[in-house]
């Protein structure tokens, strides 16, 4: 009789030898992979962001409401900023989750720190997304155009 021993990491491990108890699925592996994939994309997005906003032209002096209006008039930059927001927030949140797991030893402490973390992440992602898509270059309050806005000629 021959017993077949599957090679390690072939994924064909008998369920009773699996380390994750089968309940968590591949979550940690996918999180690990996401850190690397998002990292590569973030290098491009963030370096592009810093170059366009701080290095070209007048650099930081050029940044004001009109600068933002100019960028978000173009769907290209809306998409750029959206991708950067989501990827950086999810990457950063997962990184901080790892750090909480490393240092917070009590179950209750870990739980609470993660609740605060995920709440902050949700607020920032939702707020940032809304800001990108509801941006109005010609803001109006009580029927009056706010100073500094860019409005079409009447």
Binding site for ligand HEM (CB under 6 A): 32, 35-36, 39, 42-43, 46, 88, 91-92, 95-96, 98-99
Q: How many residues bind other proteins (CB under 8 A)?
A: 43
Asked if 29 touches other proteins (CB under 8 A), the answer is no
Q: Is 87 in the site for other proteins (CB under 8 A)?
A: no
Check residue 115 for interaction with other proteins (CB under 8 A). Answer: no
Q: Which is nearer to ligand HEM, 32 or 65 (CB)?
A: 32
Q: What is the distance between the alpha carbons of residues 81 and 42, in angstroms, rounded to a whole number? A: 11
The residue among 65 and 112 lying less far from other proteins, judged by its C-beta, is 65
> What is the smallest separation between the CB atom of 2 and other proteins, expressed in angstroms?
33
Integer angstrom CA distances of residue 110 from 23, 106, 140: 20, 6, 45
Q: What residues line the site for other proteins (CB under 8 A)?
A: 36, 39-40, 42-43, 46-47, 50, 54-55, 58-61, 63-66, 68-69, 85, 88-89, 92-93, 95-96, 99, 120, 124, 127-128, 130-131, 134-136, 139, 141, 146-149
């Amino acid at each position: 009789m021959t017993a077949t021993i599957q090679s390690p990491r072939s994924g064909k491990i008998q369920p009773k030898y699996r380390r994750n108890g089968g309940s968590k699925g591949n979550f940690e592996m996918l999180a690990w992979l996401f850190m690397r994939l998002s990292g590569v994309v973030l290098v491009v997005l963030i370096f592009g962001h810093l170059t366009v906003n701080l290095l070209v032209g007048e650099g930081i002096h050029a940044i004001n409401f009109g600068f933002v209006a100019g960028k978000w008039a173009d769907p290209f930059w809306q998409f750029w900023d959206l991708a950067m927001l989501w990827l950086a927030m999810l990457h950063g949140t997962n990184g901080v989750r790892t750090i909480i797991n490393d240092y917070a030893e009590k179950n209750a402490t870990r739980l609470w720190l993660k609740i605060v973390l995920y709440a902050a992440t949700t607020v920032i992602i939702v707020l940032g997304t809304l800001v990108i898509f509801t941006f109005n270059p010609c803001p109006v309050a009580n029927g009056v155009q706010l100073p500094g806005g860019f409005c079409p000629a009447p």
